[in-house]
Amino acid sequence: MSFSISGKTAIVTGGAYGIGLAIGRHFLDKGANVVFADLDEDRLRKEFGSNEDGKSHRYFAGDLRERLTIANLLSATIDAFDRVDILVNGARQIIKTDALDPEDTSVDALLNQNLLTSLRLSQMVARRMIKQAEDQEIENVGTIVNISCLAAQRTHPDLMAYSISTAALDQMTRSLALALAPHRIRVNAVAFGSVMSASLKAAIKENPDYRDQIIERTPLGRIAPPSELAEAVQFLVSDCSGFMTGQIMTVDGGRGLLDPVIVPAH
């Protein structure tokens, strides 16, 4: 078995910032073709310059909450690289919830952003993976990895909507894994904590003491760079994890082993 992903084509959503950007760049370094997808076109252009033919990467800007945008993303990927082998659902949003306000719409918003967008894109990409593997005797038709979070199990009063949407994403991972296993497509997730995501960086900038709180609640005593999460994702999309599907792999420095505390699990 090999960790190699060289020559494979990947779509990475949330690709303009933080974890999504780190995963996509890591895949490029390992020889994959990568389509970075994000809503923020200006940031994508700043990171990658022109969107020219002949490069091993492209970027795609659009609102993936819209079904037509998802279809256009897949079409752009096929036009550039003829196929898709890997999908990383890394786009996510965190907003606060007022748990006692019946007019609060955060649960609806985050289920749409963090769950339904990943589900619809996974369904459409899986159909393409199945089509391109017709009449081929290969063990691994494609892989899907969802970026989850400790918030699925370790919540915070202000993050009810985020926790609900993340827990739903974990269950979606398991359900899709069963549905797609007969088609030889594997679906797994990485639940992270104590990793320097874009949202965590913003939270620390707003409250510098937050860094020390996280380190104190992380047994390995540090905050990991996004590159360490990217390496875990590479394992899940490579042949080395060829007999893994429906699993939620945790990358958190041991933080999830501790009793719940009121520190958001970015």
With CA atoms as reference, report the closest residue to 152 among 186, 190, 201, 197. Answer: 190
What pLDDT is stored for residue 266 in this prediction? Answer: 52
What pLDDT is stored for residue 50 in this prediction? Answer: 84
Gap between the Cα atoms of 175 and 189, Å rounded: 12
What pLDDT is stored for residue 259 in this prediction? Answer: 61
Gap between the Cα atoms of 68 and 62, Å rounded: 10
Q: Is the domain defined by 9-257 classed in CATH 3.40.50.720?
A: yes
Alpha helices, DSSP H, located in 49-143: 67-81, 106-110, 117-132
Give the residue ranges of the chain where pLDDT is below 70: 1, 259-266
With CA atoms as reference, report the closest residue to 217 among 262, 163, 248, 249. Answer: 262
Residue 101: is it exposed, middle or buried by C-beta count within 10 angstroms (0-12/13-18/19+)? exposed
What pLDDT is stored for residue 237 in this prediction? Answer: 98
Q: What is the largest CA-CA distance in the chain?
A: 57
Tokens matching residue 49: 């310059």
What residue segments make up the domains of the chain, in order of their start?
Answer: 9-257
